[in-house]
A and B are shown apart, each in its own frame.
Chain A
């Protein structure tokens, strides 16, 4: 695997209803990590009005943008779980035994993990 790229992001923790009502600019990858947890890659700021929220810049993730072919051959053989059929979609689980996430769009995929795990993931994917 080539070296991963850093993924500067914004992390939003708020009630599920609050996050459901958010909108973001085109080109921003919005990864709903949990019902109350949103990771916006490619977005630097976000305001939620008076709603209780935690909004923090998050430099903790790195990733690899992959073609569908790269995803198929380099990643999926190491993931023991099916990908969701819809697009865009987020899948989370172990890839080669390393906690990872896959952000799936129509034409490409982003394999991301915590920077602390990047060396393990890259080494295991070869």
Chain B
């Protein structure tokens, strides 16, 4: 894009530019360097001209057309650019998407040729060329190309990708290569054609056509000068010779621009033209900076080599060579040559990864979304009741409604509602349903009679607890299963995998987002439910299908809070009506809803674990003290072999109940014994009913002490449940 003459700001000083100038060219025209030194390629290959342009750092000024409104600030010498608080943006991220049979990257001779051939074959072709402002920065599976364009980010999915990005000019790796006044042959020609005076120019390697310069013979040894080149030292016939100059033109060979192809291993990507050529490597560098972007010298390479990192990928990781702005475009040929000089064999180039060019956080974030958190149908009801909502297990849930202790007391002394719509809810049926569940669970599912339910652990093959929930039997073949809020998704995959693996005829339906659930809990729960039509409430661990407030509901009698509890599963579109009806019917009973904060305390008083909070990835039933949930008399179930194998082995881990006077320590607090940390607290609650702190915590060092310190206070092991140990209230 050509521009009119004008001025832009460089480090706060107005600088003139000519029509057609890039920013880099205009700076060179003024006798300066657009970066802080180093060879200029003016082709976008190196990082020597990057600067901050209009607040965006690491912009290649050689690829940016000069314009009157631009503000350019050079990066500081030897350090990262300054951080600026970005201006607030109200722009919505937008990505354009496109599909094509063939995408050709690069509009040079070979690229245009490939595009023409594909078009003539009747294929839909998209050609992306950086010169047109369409800079491809990544290739992903698909293959999908990500390009930065003037209109924003572009994602193109193609059947085939052709990389025709040409070749980059090799830059010098020798002392003095960070001075100003060094240009590649192609850059010298561009500067000359733009009317920029290069002064007394000398060339190493074939000089560019038409550019006045003196050709030097011999090998490049070093470049001399202070900030800017003043002379070049060559070795010719065993004699060093210094040649004064204003500009050093370097034509040291080429290397393929194949970074996109190296990103696309195993993808249908074809490389054509110069980018597919195997150019000879330059002589191995012996001293000086090899990777100007990161400032890695030959001495750094020797350092990592001497420490045993003797493969290219390891040298890269250990030294950080090739991890800078140009992603190895400058240094890769030199590092390969350096390794080849030591091993006798040139290694292939290192793997490339997106992005090949610096992109802004905004550009990287385009089309990236935060996880979507679900809302229960009662979300607005909770908000209207003053709930503080928070994210748990992929859902928005009420943490409290302003007074978690009042909510706690409503459960213990009256009646309360809890929104448990988030629980995983599944229907299982089919001829092999019982066989399937027998294999899936460690409990004897066959002994659960229709109308009854049972708490069950879900184990993996190693006998580790991965989830828990209820098994409700409805008929000979039909079961309702519940799982934890955060574990429901994995539980579904787990079940489907095993149904497939075992080849059983089992039908499975996820009802998690089709059914809502309200937990009615407290000593007056049954009284409340009688008012809305539950004349015959199920007994503890029974369940029934019944019409409540005019809708079909599935009522399960269980208890997580320690009080009589009825979990009412019902269609999501009727949930608000049921919730409001229950609150209205219980108004004179002291009803109020409870949030998770109260629920966590209530369940902790009962010693109920929360999977993922009180358990770890390798937690077994034995470690939880829940061997009672495992029926080892069953011939087979997932995890049985592992449990049988490890049953007689010593185990240094136990989840135990803990109590101590006073306030509840922070969850995660260390448990100490005689000055040693022997475990940590997983759950903690200052029980208003019990007048002390109750906790669950891991002891991880045998023999297990029975007294220790938490928060510098004495604590004791107290077997749970801490509240109503006989379970009379839950069964009432």
Interface residues of A (CB under 8 A from B): 6, 8, 11, 13-15, 36-37, 52-54, 56-60, 76-77, 80, 82, 94, 96-99, 114-117, 119-121, 124, 126
Q: How far is the CB of B151 from chain A (nearest CB, A)?
A: 13
List B residues 366-421 near A (Cβ within 8 Å): 367-377, 379, 395
Given contacts A52-B430, A60-B513, A77-B97, contact A117 B372 (CB under 8 A): yes
* Cβ B427 vs Cβ A54 within 8 A: yes
- A123 and chain B: residue at smallest CB distance: B372
* Cβ B375 vs Cβ A97 within 8 A: no
Q: What mask results when residues 196 to 212 of chain B are scored 1 for a CB within 8 Å of chain A, else 0?
A: 00000000000000000
Q: Which of B122-130, B501-509, B604-612, B641-649 participates in binding chain A? A: B501-509
Q: How far is the CB of A89 from chain B (nearest CB, A)?
A: 17
Q: How far is the CB of B596 from chain A (nearest CB, A)?
A: 17
- A58 and chain B: residue at smallest CB distance: B514
**Beyond A52-B507, A60-B513, A116-B375, 17 additional pairs, beta carbon < 8 A:** A13-B427, A36-B507, A53-B507, A54-B509, A56-B427, A56-B511, A58-B514, A59-B573, A60-B514, A60-B572, A82-B99, A82-B157, A97-B370, A115-B513, A116-B374, A119-B379, A124-B369
* Cβ B99 vs Cβ A54 within 8 A: no
Contact among A37, A52, A59, A82 for B572, CB-based, below 8 A: A59
* Cβ A52 vs Cβ B372 within 8 A: no
Once bound together, how far apart are the Cα atoms of A58 and B379, in whole Å? 20
* Cβ B372 vs Cβ A54 within 8 A: no
* Cβ B514 vs Cβ A6 within 8 A: no
Q: How far is the CB of B247 from chain A (nearest CB, A)?
A: 48
Contact among A13, A96, A115 for B369, CB-based, below 8 A: A96
- B368 and chain A: residue at smallest CB distance: A97
* Cβ B514 vs Cβ A99 within 8 A: no
14 A-B pairs in the complex with CB atoms less than 8 angstroms apart: A11-B509, A14-B507, A59-B571, A59-B574, A60-B511, A60-B514, A77-B94, A82-B157, A97-B368, A97-B372, A115-B572, A119-B379, A120-B372, A126-B92
Interface size class of B (residues with CB under 8 A): 35 or more
* Cβ A80 vs Cβ B513 within 8 A: no
Interface residues of B (CB under 8 A from A): 92, 94-97, 99, 144, 155, 157, 367-377, 379, 395, 427, 429-431, 477, 505, 507-509, 511, 513-515, 571-574
* Cβ A54 vs Cβ B572 within 8 A: no
Once bound together, how far apart are the Cα atoms of A13 and B514, in whole Å? 15
Contact among B94, B155, B395, B507 for A13, CB-based, below 8 A: B507
The 6 tightest CB contacts between A and B, nearest first, are A97-B369, A60-B514, A116-B374, A114-B513, A59-B573, A120-B372
> What residues of chain B lie closer than 8 Å to A8, measured between beta carbons?
573
> What residues of chain A lie closer than 8 Å to B574, measured between beta carbons?
59
Q: How far is the CB of B472 from chain A (nearest CB, A)?
A: 15
* Cβ A116 vs Cβ B513 within 8 A: yes
Once bound together, how far apart are the Cα atoms of A99 and B367, in whole Å? 15
> What residues of chain B lie closer than 8 Å to A37, measured between beta carbons?
509
* Cβ A98 vs Cβ B372 within 8 A: yes
Given contacts A80-B367, A99-B372, A116-B375, contact A13 B513 (CB under 8 A): no
Given contacts A117-B374, A119-B375, contact A56 B369 (CB under 8 A): no
> What residues of chain A lie closer than 8 Å to B427, measured between beta carbons?
13, 54, 56
Q: How far is the CB of A46 from chain B (nearest CB, A)?
A: 14
Q: How far is the CB of A52 from chain B (nearest CB, A)?
A: 5
* Cβ B505 vs Cβ A115 within 8 A: no
Which of B94, B427, B508, B572 has the most chain A CB atoms inside 10 A of its CB?
Answer: B572
- A120 and chain B: residue at smallest CB distance: B372
Q: How far is the CB of B545 from chain A (nearest CB, A)?
A: 12
* Cβ B376 vs Cβ A116 within 8 A: yes
Q: How far is the CB of A112 from chain B (nearest CB, A)?
A: 12
Q: How far is the CB of A83 from chain B (nearest CB, A)?
A: 10
Q: How far is the CB of A8 from chain B (nearest CB, A)?
A: 8
Given contacts A13-B508, A13-B509, A52-B507, contact A6 B374 (CB under 8 A): no
Q: How far is the CB of B433 from chain A (nearest CB, A)?
A: 9
* Cβ A77 vs Cβ B507 within 8 A: no
- B431 and chain A: residue at smallest CB distance: A52
Once bound together, how far apart are the Cα atoms of A58 and B96, in whole Å? 36
> What residues of chain A lie closer than 8 Å to B573, measured between beta carbons?
6, 8, 59, 115
> What residues of chain B lie closer than 8 Å to A126, measured between beta carbons?
92
* Cβ A11 vs Cβ B372 within 8 A: no
* Cβ B95 vs Cβ A77 within 8 A: yes
- A114 and chain B: residue at smallest CB distance: B513
* Cβ B509 vs Cβ A56 within 8 A: yes
> What residues of chain A lie closer than 8 Å to B430, measured between beta carbons?
52
Q: How far is the CB of A97 from chain B (nearest CB, A)?
A: 3
Once bound together, how far apart are the Cα atoms of A79 and B368, in whole Å? 11
Once bound together, how far apart are the Cα atoms of A13 and B377, in whole Å? 25
* Cβ A54 vs Cβ B507 within 8 A: yes
Once bound together, how far apart are the Cα atoms of A76 and B477, in whole Å? 43
> What residues of chain A lie closer than 8 Å to B94, measured between beta carbons?
77
Once bound together, how far apart are the Cα atoms of A98 and B96, in whole Å? 18
Q: How far is the CB of B575 from chain A (nearest CB, A)?
A: 10
Q: How far is the CB of A84 from chain B (nearest CB, A)?
A: 13
* Cβ B369 vs Cβ A54 within 8 A: no
- A36 and chain B: residue at smallest CB distance: B507
Once bound together, how far apart are the Cα atoms of A105 and B514, in whole Å? 25
- A126 and chain B: residue at smallest CB distance: B92
- B144 and chain A: residue at smallest CB distance: A80
Once bound together, how far apart are the Cα atoms of A119 and B94, in whole Å? 20
